[in-house]
Amino acid sequence: MSQRFGAALLALVGWLAAASAQEATVKPSFAPEAIEHFEKRVRPVLIEKCFDCHGPKQQKASLRLDSRQAVLKGSDTQIVVVPGQPEKSLLIEAIKQTGELKMPPKGKLSEEDIAAIEQWIRDGLAWPEDTPPADLEAARKHWAFQPVRVVHPPSGKSLEALANPIDAFILARLESEGLQPAPSADRRTLIRRLYFDLLGLPPEPDAIAAFLEDDDPAAYERLVDRLLASPHFGERWGRHWLDVARYANERGYVGVNVDRTYPFAYAYRDWVIRAFNEDRSYKDFILLQLAADQIVTGPDKRDLAAMGFLTVGRRFINNQQEIIDDRLDVTFRGFQGLTISCARCHDHKYDPIPTKDYYSLYGVFASSQEPDELPILEPVQRGPQTEAFERELRRLEEEKARFERENEAMKRERPREFSEKIKPFENRIKQLHATHPGAPPRGMVLLDAPKPTEPRVFIRGNARNPGPGVPRQFLEILSPQGRKPFTSGSGRLEMAQAIASESNPLTARVFVNRVWGHLFGRGLVRTPSDFGTRGEPPTHPELLDYLAARFMEEGWSPKRLIRLIVLSRTYQQSCEGDADGYRKDPENRLLSRMNRRRLELEPMRDAMLAVAGDLDPSFGGQAVDFLKNGRSTRRTIYGFIDRQNLPGMYRIFDFASPDTHSPKRYETTVPQQALFLMNSPFVIERARKLAARLDAEELTEPRLRIRRLYHLVYGRDPRSEEVDKALAFLEAAEADRSESQLSPWEQYAQVLLMSNEFVFVE
Amino acid sequence: MKQPVSTLEHLALTRRELLHRCGMGFGALMLGELLRMAGCLETAQASESTSRLNPLAPKQPHFPGKAKRVIHLFMNGGPSHVDTFDPKPKLAEYAGKTLPFENLKTERKTGAAFPSPFKFQKYGQSGIEVSELFHHTAQCIDDICVIRSMHADVPNHEPSLLLMNCGEARQIRPSVGSWVVYGLGTENQNLPGFIAMCPGGYPIQESQNWQAGFLPGVYQGTYIDTKHTTIEKLIENIKNHHLPLKQQRRQLDLLRQMNEEYQKRRQEDAQLEARLQSFELAFRMQMEASDAFDISKEPQAIRDMYGPGTQARQLLIARRLIERGVRFVQVWHGEGQPWDSHDDLEVNHRRLAQQCDRAIGALLRDLKQRGLLDETLVIWGGEFGRTPTVELPQPGANAGKVNGRDHNHWGFTMWLAGGGVKGGYVYGATDEFGFQAVENKVHVHDLHATILHLLGFDHEKFTYRYAGRDFRLTDVHGRVVKEILA
């Protein structure tokens, strides 16, 4: 049954998709070679030689040549191209300059270019996608490019009593669709939900008991405030941001036998965690990650670590264009929900992002560089290891100095040999700075180059084929009328300011939507990193704007935003809605119930450590390689992330790919996940620790032990039939105990850790 | 309203969500089945919505493909085509002399013509010439389609490996195997759908060669170091060292009851059921996987046919995997870049070919005997070929020796067998010295388009939306080489 079901289901989805694809476009089809010819030989010529007068900006003689339709339409007086017949096409006469009309006016095209255009007409005017040119004025009408509106929550009789404006928006919509919200979840469910959503950890049984007993109406609110103030909050929400930032601890493949680690990536990770804990304004959060080098001026250099956002990406065997593209992509998908990389080779096909804008911003990063020596993030906090580090450093420096003293002659006479011989000494010092636990952290910064680059468009994205020059400036679609080029250095700070601005229609919306998505499982816009015309429109546009406006008004405070959302009744709903809601709104776009969510890798692993009682709660510091250091019980966020060879545990549990910006985690279910839970030394060890916890608490009576396990793992009492089943299992396991290296209780504890109730949050 | 086709960001309909959305009950399923059988549906592209329930479930391609599965024998480092499958007698004529045209630019400087030290002879009904290096493989030449006009973009390992594996030399893109498993799922849920085997460690560029790129991580190749022979070293977490199967079964029985009870108290949710099932699959996988990798279960005659050594073992494992329904198996010759014979080509190529030739021949015969070759596409080749001219000595590179060949992306040979290609057939040609593909040129993108075609996909319609774009394995390139289709 289930297999056939699956196949049929696929079929249905396919049918829906195919039907809609047909609706969308009816396009003439061209041979791939013809398209390739157009893209390689014709389009660049049109862009370079024709578009200035016959493109988006100007249409002399009402002629534009930037879409197939426009070319076919011709000028205001005549047809200029007859597909298939270059000899009858006015365009050819004009570019051959044989008749009266001579184009382009500034000079004749090369014979090759003319031949290419003739061939293109002979091919029937091949054009890959018949999309109309992205007309800026029309594009501005797209909802996401409209200014954030001031919206008031809907009012009405049933809505007046609502304390939280979010509920007014949600309820008004539900009512209009004739749907009911789900009842509030019970308090056990709520506290577990809050703990995982805000801290990524399960509530301790004591915390649950205290919350259940607290009948103050403000108990829930107090709980929220307590969790928001916990240092674990930053670890949970910082990790969400690290997905956006494609964070990893190494640079990817850059050759064999080359050290690939980023020794100071951890400083960025710790900065992000701290920023969430300290509730830094999101505006500063943006500015610092893009341009801390130009903001941090005082003696406290810790904020320089923020620039890891730009620099912890993959290095593509040090290919400069790819590195810059990666930085543009992470910045614009991350902060703006715009896929500007699409404009690297040609104007964006769907959004108003011309290639010129891409290279304007490319110029910003091309004008920024990494220093040879990364700055120390002063003031250095002296820790127990600091002295050991300084001792070791002195020793290595003395060694090096001694070598220099003893080889002064070589230094003078054979400088090349000397520099070769001194290298190991230098490397040892470098290595010490990078790896000693007492070494001060450094910031992975970018700095402005002494002389900024004047960017040029790379035609078809090919750096060897530079086209017209462009100024370094912000995207036109997000700029006020009369956009001005950046004036200060690379322009990176100005770019950051244009993003972190109240008048930017995307910045607040994109962030608010990400926060919503982390709390509900899905954003109001279900394409969190694509707010362009191909993304999905918001399910609740007014609510999105309300939240975005309020977020900005309240100082861009992430904690206030999260607080507002989790205090809503909408957030506190049960996952069990009424049947009507499932039928009318199966995807739960209208939120007539809460979404059930499976724990991601980090909260799952952390929760196992927590319930087993051996979570190491210490904060920050150099990354721990969990594979090499299997006994580490640090939180998962502190693990070493090897992007080149991402270990199985990360891959199978749908960890955010550290290769590029990750808008949302996948949620797959595969047997390798089950194998990890059944067989991995990590889980076996947790089962042992969990059982040992009962012994340490001197619980002997089996029923009490079962009850305690339920409290620890699920946060509730077992039902009597659950106790019976457990006892039966334990008895059977006792009978053949000699065959196994795990005690009955350890076996049983492992079952609890594998269960659905443990890994789903309701 | 726009209907999302396939994108991560749009995903996640549950089974019931979908049924409700369609406003249909069970009858709708039958309709879907009918439509699917009638071939009206592009199911491969649409599978995203259900992928989180079982992303590896078998799926239908765009049209029925002749090939159902793939074995890719990757001779990493770049085997020399003029010493294996592309004879160039003219080189002997020019031995030690400069070619009549300027040497094409490759990674390093090359000098005079370097005739092959190996003998070529005709094999099979087709009479295709193959060198002594692949004498055993050549016994199957009538099942092999030799493409002598392959070309790539640059003469360096890293970008060429990525191009061959992922269709793009630098950026993050899914590998061919990931695309195939994404599109077709896999037939055996107890084994990974895409397995990459390489003895002794990674090839250059490491696991990026079998990366899932922007596809979900489950489509990434599972790497197996075939230097090892014990199952737990081969597949992560495949064995429990603390519990015998009987006790583990008891655990899973309790787990099942608890999960069922949990479900019963809630409204239907497909992800709960999927997770419950995944434990049953995993339990079976422990047995099935051990069995698949245990070549001691093969009859002696078969093991003899493959011969001794690591290559023989991993090729025999490859056949056992394919036979069990694994979709895509990539078999790498070894760690690093073994075929990269900048020096001592004669000695090195002979040694390398000796390691694998017999087993490759055995694999082809074995597949054929079992009736598997028709539906299994076997691909042989490296990331590029080698120059017909000798590599000039360079400090730090080849220790002053003048007896090897440089990388050559201008022209090289790959061969395909089974899976719907013409056997005993040669397609394309290099120039008379073997430097550059000149006749019926086949770019790596064209090879990819052809592989997808053989599996039932239109490479231009087989897309995945990511970061606002519909990506293809072949990007904006690729031509199906129709001439080699059987």
CB pair distance less than 8 Å for A675 and B237: yes
Q: What is the pLDDT of residues B31-50, one digit of tens each?
A: 333 333 333 333 333 333 44
Span A677-722, pLDDT tens digits: 999 999 999 999 999 999 999 999 999 999 999 999 999 999 999 9
Nearest CA in chain A to B23: A583
Do the Cβ atoms of B4 and A17 come within 8 Å? Answer: yes
H helical segments located in B139-184: 157-166, 176-184
Residues 195-224 of B with CB under 8 A from A: 202, 204-208, 211-214, 216-218, 220
Cβ within 8 Å, pair B10-A668: no
- CB under 8 Å to A257, separation ≥6 — which residues? none
Other C-beta atoms within 10 Å of A110: how many?
10
How far apart are alpha carbons A129 and A146 in whole angstroms?
Answer: 26
Give DSSP secondary structure letters for A688-754: HHHHHHHHHTT--SHHHHHHHHHHHHTSSPPPHHHHHHHHHHHHHHHHTGGG-SS-HHHHHHHHHHH
Question: How, if at all, do strands B469-472 and B429-430 pair?
Answer: unpaired
Q: Which of A36-45, A185-194, A532-541 has the highest mean pLDDT?
A: A185-194
Q: What is the pLDDT of residue B161?
A: 97
How far CA A435 is from CA of A90, A647, B148, in Å, comes to: 69, 22, 51
DSSP letter at A186 equals: P
**Averaged pLDDT, B356-372:** 98
Q: Kindly state whether B336 is in contact with chain A, defined as any CB-CB distance less than 8 angstroms.
A: yes
For residue A597, give every residue at least 6 positions away whose Cβ sits within 8 Å of its Cβ, in sequence order, or none: A521, A760, A761
Q: Cα–Cα distances in Å, from A290 out to A21, A363, A364, A368, B115?
A: 39, 14, 11, 11, 57
pLDDT at B297: 93
- Amino acid residing at B13: L
d(CA B40, nearest CA chain A) in Å: 8
pLDDT the model gives residue B5:
34
> What are the residue ranges spanned by the domains of chain B?
8-51, 69-236+280-484
Both tokens of residue A704? Answer: 């009490």
Average per-residue pLDDT in chain B? 87
Cα–Cα distance measured from residue B181 to residue B175, given in angstroms and rounded to the nearest whole number: 10
User: Does B22 contact A16 at a Cβ distance shorter than 8 Å?
Assistant: yes
Which CATH number applies to B69-236+280-484: 2.60.120, 3.40.50, 1.10.10, 3.40.720? 3.40.720
Q: Where are the alpha helices (DSSP H) in A214-319?
A: 219-228, 232-244, 265-277, 282-291, 308-311
Cβ neighbours of residue A486 under 8 Å, at least 6 residues apart? A364, A471, A472, A473, A474, A494, A495
Q: Is the pLDDT of residue A33 over 80?
A: no
Q: Which of B226, B166, B21 is nearest to A16 (CA)?
A: B21
Residue of B nearest to A128 (CA): B476
- pLDDT of A362 above 90: yes
Residues 6+ apart with CB under 8 A from A416: none
Predicted pLDDT at A509: 98
CB contact (8 A) between residue B9 and residue A527: yes
pLDDT band at A134 (very low <50, low <70, confident <90, very high): low
Reference B67, options B424, B367, B475, B461; nearest CA is B367
**Does B370 contact chain A (CB < 8 Å)?**
no
Q: From chain B, pick out residues whose CB is under 8 angstroms from the CB of A679.
A: 237-241, 286
CB contact B3 to A (< 8 Å): yes
Q: What is the mean pLDDT of residues A87-93?
A: 89
With cut-offs at 50, 70 and 90, classify the pLDDT of residue A112. confident
- pLDDT at residue A730 greater than cutoff 50: yes
List CB contacts (< 8 A) between A528 and chain B. Answer: 9
- Asked whether residue B143 carries a pLDDT value surpassing 80, the answer given is yes
Bond before A352 cis per omega within 30 degrees: no
Among A143-152, A205-214, A467-476, A642-651, name the one with the lowest average pLDDT: A642-651
What is the separation of C-alpha A587 from the centre of its chain, rounded to a whole number of angstroms? 23
**Residue A23 pLDDT exceeds 90:** no
CA of B53 vs chain A CAs: smallest distance (Å): 6
Which residues in chain A are contacts of B58 at CB distance < 8 A? 7
Chain A nearest C-alpha distance from B141 (Å): 33
| Alpha carbon distances (Å) from A604 to A597, A626, A677, A757, B228 | 12, 15, 11, 12, 31
- pLDDT tens digit sequence for A366-390: 999 999 889 999 777 777 788 899 9
Rg (CA), chain B: 24
Chain A nearest C-alpha distance from B331 (Å)? 18
Residue A159 binned pLDDT confidence (cut-offs 50, 70, 90): low
* Radius of gyration of chain A from its Cα atoms, rounded to whole angstroms: 31
Quote the Cα angle for B212-B218-B220, to 5°: 35
Query: Taking CB atoms and an 8 Å limit, are B258 and A725 in contact across chains?
Result: yes
Quote the CA–CA distance of A65 and A91 in Å, as a whole number.
11
Average pLDDT of chain A to the nearest whole number: 90
Chosen for mutation from B10, B17, B247 (greatest number of chain A CBs closer than 10 Å) is B247
Confidence band (pLDDT; 50, 70, 90) for B397?
Answer: low
pLDDT tens digit string along B424-444? 999 999 999 999 999 999 999
The fraction of chain A above a pLDDT of 90, given in percent, is 65
Contact B448, B478 (CB under 8 A): yes
Residue-level pLDDT at B43? 37
Out of A116-130, A458-472, B219-233, pick the least confident: A116-130
pLDDT at B398: 62
Q: Cβ of B467 and A333 within 8 Å?
A: yes
- What's the pLDDT band for A161 if we cut at 50, 70, 90? low
Residue B477 to residue A644, Cβ atoms within 8 A: no
Which residue bears the tokens 């956009």?
A: A483
Burial (CB count <10 Å: 0-12, 13-18, 19+), residue A412: exposed
